[in-house]
Amino acid sequence: MSPAPPASSATLRGFVERVVYHTEDTGYCILKVLPEGHREPLSLIGKAPRVVAGEQFEATGKWEHTNEYGQQFKADTLKLTRPNSSEGIERYLGSGLIEGIGPAYAKRMVEKFGERIFEIIENESVKLEDVEGIGRKRRQEIRESWLKQKGVHNIMLFLHKHGISSSRALRIHKTYGDEALTVLTRDPYRLAQDIHGIGFRTADQIAQQMGMSVDAPERIRAGILHTLETGAQNGHTCLPRSLLHQKAVEVLRCVDELIDDQIEHLVREELIEPHDIQDMRMFYLPYLRAAEKSIAKRLKDLASAPASYPEIEPQEAIAWAAKETGKELAESQQRAVISALQNRCLIITGGPGVGKTTILRTILSILEKHQVKMILAAPTGRAAKRLNESTGLEAKTMHRLLEYQGSGSWGRHRGRPLTGDLFVLDECSMVDTPLMAQFVSALPEGAHLLLVGDADQLPSVGPGMVLNDLISSEAVPCVKLTEIFRQAATSRIITSAHAINRGQMPDLKPSRDADFFFLEAGSAGEISDTLIDLVQRRLPARYTFDPARDIQVLTPMNRNELGTQALNVRLQDALNPPNELKYEVERFGSTFRVGDKVIQTQNNYDKDVFNGDLGHIVSIDTDPLKLSVRFEGERLVEYEPGELDELQLAYAMTIHKSQGSEFPCVVIPVSTQHYVLLERSLIYTAITRAKKLVVLVGDPKALSLAISKQESRKRWTGLRSLLEAP
């Protein structure tokens, strides 16, 4: 029988038998521990940045009794150290902490080396190859993982000490390596610039915990730069002085004069650039101003030069292409083809059903016959795949074409340009200012450029509105297609999209054979319930859609009852519920199961996956923990636990994330709950993602509100001004 626990404050020592619960966000944990002098394990509650089964612990605190859990120890302080007993070491190594080691390997390693195993891993790892099943590759994996975990643990302890969530420790270590603690202590504001998921407020919290005053010049400067970076994240390439000032005050909560002084300091240091645009003083991050200047100069130069294709008689070529493609062109389409053959740089823009694809096929057929070397690209993998399917020619993502090498480094640039005669860039509305600047800088001398896109869709997620600025400046020849052709005119998806684009309500009257429906639902809860029932039951039954692969829920935002986060939880439970045979893993607030539909949320060039790529989880391995996703195109990509913040469930995704994609069926919640984000381009973009069926669910008043607003066009940029300048 175990000794009776004391009633007052006590100190316990022993080892951690099992981690019942632990959250890296707060460090809160519930542990099963075996204290010295006790025969049975007991419950301990405390806080620690990381806990691993098998670790030694020392805790001070008090005993408490609960009706639900009985007697447990509540620790005020909890220290954890590496285990020193064979049993503890085996548990520790077999916990999944170290890549390449599961319970079976842990047992063999401890049997072979006993309590010296940590020293062996770190300093004499070649000896691990004496253990059955461990070869050179696994031995190296074990040692590298061990050293990484040491570094990560030190970062976790630092963050925990300063009251910061330790959930990003792995990414901090991956970004800075052995320099991580130096960066944290010397310049915590770098975290906000360098690491996905860490914002200015977290970095500021670390800095203030370390004693930095609220009016320190370096803090004010970091806040001003953060304001401009946030502006870029919201689509602006620059901000007027008054808006920069206002937003910086909101972030920093300091007096105005401090901000004015530090703006001038940043200008002197050339960390921000002032420019006058239409009598307004605008402030830029230098790379964005340089990008706008590069685009303006290169495209003005291209537009001023005539085409240099082989001699082509346009009408004969169009007649030949009609026989070749089986597509007769209308007069407006013929004019577009002739413009493409006569101009070195041309924009073709228009909404769905106006024949952009037919025109493009005709142009490419004619030029291919004349041995013109053509290079096709699009901003995302899904858009490139669609371009390939519609033209029959190879199409690459812009990043792959430009040989992106990570960390802002490109293999193709002004000094090492691309090779080709005609460069076709599709889905141009999605291309932001920095990417377009890189693209045009890599074009060879004598290149021709054809830009294709729908200017009425949402502008790019990144800074700028390049396609709109190009069109509105009239500096580049542009063909605007407006005529809807006969076959497309029978689709209510097409006619509704064009009505919305004109600022008109589409026809919402139900029609049994239509491809566009509006289902009225009142509250957010009713909309959510209707949406789940549609995806899970009604649409698959009526149209034989696969609910996970063919139906895509698109919503304006991430938060609230009708945001991606809440809808994904409900859709996951409806379409891929948990069961005893299905292993799942929880990280960064999401639960992932085999079979789940997921989306990559940032570019990862090491794994060759990009922001917006969709896939399905095909396996979750537990020894060691790894999750495998099969993306479209059949690429299999593995993720470690600390990398899972790059993935999100994708049964529902934001409309912004859907740009450049097409889905057989799209379901869209429309609610006044989304009032802040509701606007015309958003609804138009969502509807035009569907190939076969659109279902809107919600309040007609919310749809009317959206159609009457055009907020996404309000971006601060200087590109149009540069294009219009003589």
Cis peptide upstream of residue 624 (ω within 30 degrees of 0): yes
Q: Are residues 294 and 411 in the same domain?
A: yes
Q: What's the chain's average pLDDT?
A: 88
pLDDT in tens, 428-461: 999 999 999 999 999 999 999 999 999 888 888 8
* pLDDT over 90 at 376, yes or no: yes
Length of the chain: 726
* pLDDT over 80 at 383, yes or no: yes
* pLDDT over 70 at 197, yes or no: no
- What's the pTM? 0.76
Q: Output the pLDDT for position 4.
A: 46
Pick 196 or 507 by higher pLDDT.
Answer: 507
In percent, the amount of the chain with pLDDT more than 70 equals: 94
Residue 653, φ and ψ in degrees, nearest 5: -135, 160
Residue 61 lies in a domain: yes
pLDDT average, residue stretch 216-237? 92
Q: Are residues 363 and 294 in the same domain?
A: yes
* pLDDT over 80 at 67, yes or no: no
Q: Are residues 73 and 114 in the same domain?
A: yes
| Total number of domains constituting the chain | 5
Which of 262, 284, 306 corresponds to the end of one domain?
A: 284
pLDDT in tens, 607-630: 878 778 899 999 988 766 789 999
* pLDDT over 70 at 488, yes or no: no
Q: Output the pLDDT for position 563.
A: 92
Among 308, 307, 305, 329, residue whose Cα is nearest residue 317: 329
The domain in which residue 184 lies consists of 166-210
pLDDT in tens, 324-349: 888 888 888 999 999 999 999 999 99
pLDDT in tens, 633-684: 678 999 987 788 889 999 999 998 898 888 999 999 999 877 677 889 999 9
Q: Are residues 122 and 253 in the same domain?
A: no
CA distance 351 to 329: 17
Q: What is the DSSP string of 296-317?
A: HHHHHHHHTSBP-PSP--HHHH
Residue 126 maps to which CATH number? 2.40.50
Residue 453 lies in a domain: yes
Q: Output the pLDDT for position 1.
A: 42
Q: Are residues 470 and 524 in the same domain?
A: no
Q: Name the one residue in this structure whose structure tokens are 């007649």.
A: 319
Q: Output the pLDDT for position 596.
A: 94
* pLDDT over 60 at 409, yes or no: yes
Q: Are residues 499 and 562 in the same domain?
A: yes
Q: Are residues 472 and 335 in the same domain?
A: yes
Q: Are residues 17 and 57 in the same domain?
A: yes
Q: Output the pLDDT for position 236.
A: 96
- When pLDDT is cut at 50, 70 and 90, the band that residue 73 belongs to is very high
Q: Output the pLDDT for position 617.
A: 93
Residue 388 lies in a domain: yes
Residue 445 lies in a domain: yes
What is the identity of the amino acid at 308? S
Q: Are residues 184 and 231 in the same domain?
A: no
* pLDDT over 60 at 572, yes or no: yes
Which of 238, 264, 284 corresponds to the end of one domain?
A: 284
**Strand locations in 454-504, DSSP E?**
478-481
* pLDDT over 50 at 546, yes or no: yes
- When pLDDT is cut at 50, 70 and 90, the band that residue 133 belongs to is confident
Residue 641 lies in a domain: no
Q: 691: helix, coil or strand?
A: strand
Q: Output the pLDDT for position 209.
A: 79
Which of 234, 256, 284 corresponds to the end of one domain?
A: 284
Residue 260 maps to which CATH number? 1.10.10.2220
- When pLDDT is cut at 50, 70 and 90, the band that residue 170 belongs to is low
Residue 510 lies in a domain: yes
Q: Output the pLDDT for position 167.
A: 62
Residue 715 lies in a domain: no
Q: Are residues 75 and 95 in the same domain?
A: yes
- In Å, the largest CA–CA distance within the chain is 100
Q: Are residues 119 and 263 in the same domain?
A: no
Residue 546 lies in a domain: yes
Q: Are residues 26 and 62 in the same domain?
A: yes
